Amino acid sequence: MIEPANAKQVIRTVLVISMARNGLTEDQLAAEAKISPLTVRHILDSEDTSFPTIKTLIKVCNALDLPLSTFFKVKVRQATEREIILVKGE
């Protein structure tokens, strides 16, 4: 389970890297995403504990040509035979 503070850090880190790759400032990202510069600042502010809405994340992702799934990828691993047996109850 990811702690909320860590989740916010992941969002910030991905956006900062994506902004750098696209050569965008906070104000330019806001204009491209059609959101307020203050909203971008709140997302990137390490002291701000609020989270962007999905709607805002979609706008930001579209502006950065970044798949929304970047924030929701889950690592999946192969189950061992023992784990499968335990789940089946044998």
Domain harbouring 60, CATH code: 1.10.260.40
Backbone angles phi, psi at 46, to 5 degrees: -70, -20
Domain ranges, residue 40: 4-71
Domain assignment of residue 26, yes or no = yes
pLDDT, tens only, 15-62: 999 999 999 999 999 999 999 999 999 999 988 888 899 999 999 999
Record the tokens describing residue 66, joined without a space: 């970044």
In-domain check, residue 89: no
Q: Indicate whether 32 belongs to any domain.
A: yes
- Residue 89: left if φ>0, alpha if ψ -120 to 50, beta else—which one? left
pLDDT digits (tens, 9 = 90+) for 69-80: 887 765 555 656
pLDDT of amino acid 47? 87
Number of domains making up the chain? 1
- pTM value > 0.75: no
- Angle ∠(62,66,69) on CA atoms, nearest 5: 105
Q: Is residue 85 part of a domain?
A: no
The answer to whether residue 38 sits within a structural domain is yes
Which pLDDT belongs to residue 4?
64
